[in-house]
Amino acid sequence: VMANVSVITLFVLSGLNETVNHRSIIFFLSLLCYCTILVVNVSLIVIIILDNSLHEPMYILLCAFFMNGLYGTTGFYPKFLWDLLSPVHVISYSGCLVQALVMYSFACSDLSILALMAYDRYLAICRPLEYHSVMSKHRVTKLAFFSWLMPFCIIATNIYLTSRVKLCSSYIDRLFCVNWSIVQLACFPEETTINGIVANITIITYVLHGLFIVWSYLYLIKTCTSSLENRAKFMQTCVPHLTSLLTFLFTVLFDVMTLRLASKDFPQMLINFIAIEFLIIPPIMNPLIYGFKLTKIRNKIVGVVSFKMNVK
């Protein structure tokens, strides 16, 4: 076995091999998708930053949410688009670890920010008198930063452990680098026990995030149905959160299932689509859901559009 252990400097991403015939269509659709993500997320970030009336906890968290969407998708699309145009699909060892770090920390930060949003809505609707003292702008900004930094550090620990594993193959049968796919290339599976333990702790941590979010919304629904005013407040601000949470959880759970269960029975194209679903649906859906559902942002967008029409 030792003869087989060589220092791997490049990985081959073989997930793209199936797409040879449809390369140009996929390139066009992916480019369109990435441009849409950039436009909708950047415009909402700019609207929130420039408008003082939107400098409230909920919108600060939304701003962090959209920034995280840009961070995650930038870890995937430019490299993917480049691969679609080039005959060989390789990524350097360090590039692969960085991509895995970005992908995972993006997904975990999304859950952290959604958990903060759920707590924010709980305070706003169930304990309105304490809301402003607990959720000050300064504190929310710090919490938003922390909800990105903590997942980043947790995932960095996972990636560091992966970097210490000796690998015996350089073939990853996916479209992008995934920590677990790299760990599975280990020469000595017994070396990866600690990786498995830390990975499972990470998964449990973020499943708990998900459960906390679901619990807080169930609690809100129970509390909200008592008064009409609260019901209106809930429909307006919580339904978007619930929608984005459910799309996110659905896409990620699906991916984790195909990754952890031996996914040999699934066609490669389906696995590919499932794998990048969380990089297509939430980053486009979230800004649209919030942009149209939250009155203040919607009014801003309508205002800007009608102003431009009048100028013309």
Q: What is the pLDDT of residues 24-56, one digit of tens each?
A: 888 999 999 999 999 999 989 998 898 888 888
What pLDDT is recorded for position 260?
Answer: 67
Residue 147 has pLDDT above 90, yes or no: yes
Mean pLDDT, range 214-238, rounded to an integer: 77
What pLDDT is recorded for position 146?
Answer: 95
Distances in whole angstroms, Cα of residue 258 to Cα of each of 174, 248, 283, 290: 12, 16, 21, 30
**19, two tokens:** 């797409």
Give the residue carrying structure tokens 């709980």.
122
Query: DSSP H helical segments within the chain, as ranges?
Result: 23-50, 57-74, 77-85, 93-126, 128-134, 137-163, 179-183, 193-224, 228-260, 268-293, 295-311
Determine phi and psi for 208, rounding to 5 degrees: -65, -40
Measured on CA atoms in the order 244, 250, 251, 255, is the torsion positive or negative?
positive
What pLDDT is recorded for position 6?
Answer: 57
CA–CA dist 180, 243 (Å, integer): 28
Contacts 24+ apart (CB under 8 A), 167-172: 167/5, 167/8, 168/1, 168/4, 168/5, 170/8, 170/10, 170/11, 170/12, 171/11, 171/12, 171/14, 172/11, 172/12, 172/13, 172/14, 172/15, 172/96
CA–CA dist 241, 28 (Å, integer): 30
Please state, rounded to an integer, the average pLDDT across all residues of the chain. 84
How many Cβ atoms are within 10 Å of 191's Cβ, its own excluded? 13
Task: Report residue 68's pLDDT band, with 50, 70 and 90 as the boundaries.
Answer: very high
Residue 105 burial (C-beta neighbours within 10 Å; 0-12, 13-18, 19+): buried
Q: 75 in helix, strand or coil?
A: coil
Residue 293 has pLDDT above 70, yes or no: no
Mean pLDDT, range 88-104, rounded to an integer: 92
Residue 291 has pLDDT above 90, yes or no: no
Give the predicted TM-score (pTM) of the model: 0.86
What pLDDT is recorded for position 262?
Answer: 57
